């Protein structure tokens, strides 16, 4: 039996929301707004996962075919959730460095100044990672 229309529509919605989640993560550009974009991507990924899983459960309960796109939506939503969580953790761990980087970039008028901002950010992140590794060892 083919998938029931309601489950198929839910699967299509899940696929579209999952793609929005992944796009939100991959479109991360400005560090100042990044945490909001990552939060949105995480929320969209969770909603997409819920939609996809419930579409599959409805199909299983109704003994109909799995809705087209539900497996892809589940996989894409999973990737979006995973990337969002990793980036959210990075924002939590490196919030000060990313904020300073964003301010530096907004004040940088030349490409040389932007390059200097990137070097400063890289040094700050390496310093933070070294501090975390030292705390872990001792």
Task: Identify which of 127, 45, 131 has the alpha carbon closest to the alpha carbon of residue 84.
Answer: 45
Whether the CB-CB separation of 59 and 3 falls below 8 Å is answered with yes
pLDDT for the residue 105: 86
**Is the sign of the CA dihedral 114, 35, 46, 79 positive or negative?**
positive
pTM above 0.85, yes or no: no
**CA–CA gap between residue 53 and residue 100 (Å, rounded):** 40
**CA–CA gap between residue 108 and residue 119 (Å, rounded):** 13
pLDDT band at 121 (very low <50, low <70, confident <90, very high): very high
The Cα diameter of the chain in Å comes to: 63
Mean pLDDT lowest among 37-51, 89-103, 110-124 = 89-103
What is the mean pLDDT of the segment spanning 38-60?
93
pLDDT band at 96 (very low <50, low <70, confident <90, very high): confident
């Amino acid at each position: 039996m083919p998938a029931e229309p309601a489950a198929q529509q839910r699967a299509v919605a899940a696929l579209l929301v999952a793609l929005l989640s992944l796009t939100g993560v991959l479109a991360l550009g400005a560090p100042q707004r990044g945490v909001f974009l990552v939060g949105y991507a995480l929320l969209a990924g969770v909603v997409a996962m819920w939609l996809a899983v419930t579409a599959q459960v409805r199909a299983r309960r109704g003994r109909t075919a799995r809705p087209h796109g539900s497996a892809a939506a589940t996989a894409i939503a999973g990737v979006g959730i995973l990337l969002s969580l990793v980036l959210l953790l990075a924002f939590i761990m490196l919030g000060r460095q990313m904020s300073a980087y964003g301010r530096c970039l907004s004040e940088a008028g030349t490409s040389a100044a932007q390059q200097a901002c990137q070097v400063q950010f890289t040094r700050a992140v390496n310093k933070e990672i070294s501090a975390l590794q030292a705390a872990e060892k001792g």
